[in-house]
Amino acid sequence: MLRGRPHPRFGDLRGTSARMVAVVGSSPDETRPHRLLLVDDHPIIRAALRAQLSVPGEFVVVGEASNARAALKLAEAHGVDVVLIDLELDREWGMDLLLVLKSRFPELRVLVFTAHDDPMLAQRAIDLGALGYVAKTDDVALVDALRAVARGEVYLGPSIAAHLVRRWRTRSGQLLSDREVEIFRLIGRGHETKDIASVLGVSVKTVETHRARIRNKLGIRGVGELIVRAALFARGQE
């Protein structure tokens, strides 16, 4: 049976049916609204988010939680597709919940919505598997960020994006080749290595070699940073 795995901190929550958990672990069904879970320890904020993000035909809020344990129970019980997480929960840290959610349900799509306008935290969240990071001070339509994440795209709020662009300016002499630019753009649009190989008519090994060269030229330390920087690059070309 397909079930979430127990976690030493949050306990064994494997009490739901295989059908429900299998939905969480699979790609969202585009023929129905995305099932959304809200995780924030302030009831007033959750109520506002529910009102803002309940979009007929697109998103239906199937649960609200103020802590990690409740969030995990709801994720297993309701076949959640997308989760919106605050980092500061009730005596808990949202990154810990993000780690457990992604380890149990790798296909789950997560948007971090937080008061922390910190590019290092944004990069850490992406490293742990989040697709989006928006500061509560950002002047953005949150539903647009949620739509991007639900499509499997990386979304960064403007304040975080501005910080990261300033940090990641390419040094002179480290420009990418035309092929590397093309691959970097496709990574930023959410394509996996095998998809890029198919689109470009090359082998997976060739794409992996170009990815390694891109990381080396731009001084990229990990996969999370590669995804974020590629997303910023792709957005700038649109």
**Do residues 55 and 115 share a domain?**
yes
What is the reported pLDDT for 236? 58
- Domain boundary among the residues 165, 183, 215 is at 165
CATH number, domain with residue 89: 3.40.50.2300
**Do residues 28 and 115 share a domain?**
yes
Number of other CB atoms surrounding residue 78 within 10 Å: 19
The answer to whether residue 4 is domain-embedded is no
**Do residues 154 and 217 share a domain?**
no
- Amino acid making up residue 206: T
Between the alpha carbon of residue 71 and those of residues 40, 50, 167, the distances in Å are 10, 15, 34
**Do residues 34 and 143 share a domain?**
yes
* pTM more than 0.75: no
The answer to whether residue 3 is domain-embedded is no
Q: Cα separation of 111 and 155, whole Å? A: 8
**Do residues 29 and 83 share a domain?**
yes
Number of domains in the chain: 2
* Domain span holding position 216: 170-237
The answer to whether residue 12 is domain-embedded is no
Sheet strands (E) in 81-120: 82-85, 88-89, 92-93, 109-114
Q: 188: which 2 tokens?
A: 């930023």
What is the reported pLDDT for 30? 61
Half-sphere exposure in the Cβ direction for 192 (13 Å, CA): 3
Q: Cα separation of 116 and 227, whole Å? A: 20
**Do residues 70 and 107 share a domain?**
yes
**Do residues 137 and 176 share a domain?**
no
The answer to whether residue 7 is domain-embedded is no
Walk along the chain (238 residues) in steps of 10 and give the mean pLDDT of each run: 40 30 38 90 93 92 92 90 91 89 91 89 87 88 92 85 64 67 88 93 95 87 81 66
Q: 238: which 2 tokens?
A: 């649109």
- Domain boundary among the residues 110, 135, 165 is at 165
The answer to whether residue 231 is domain-embedded is yes
- Domain boundary among the residues 165, 184, 219 is at 165
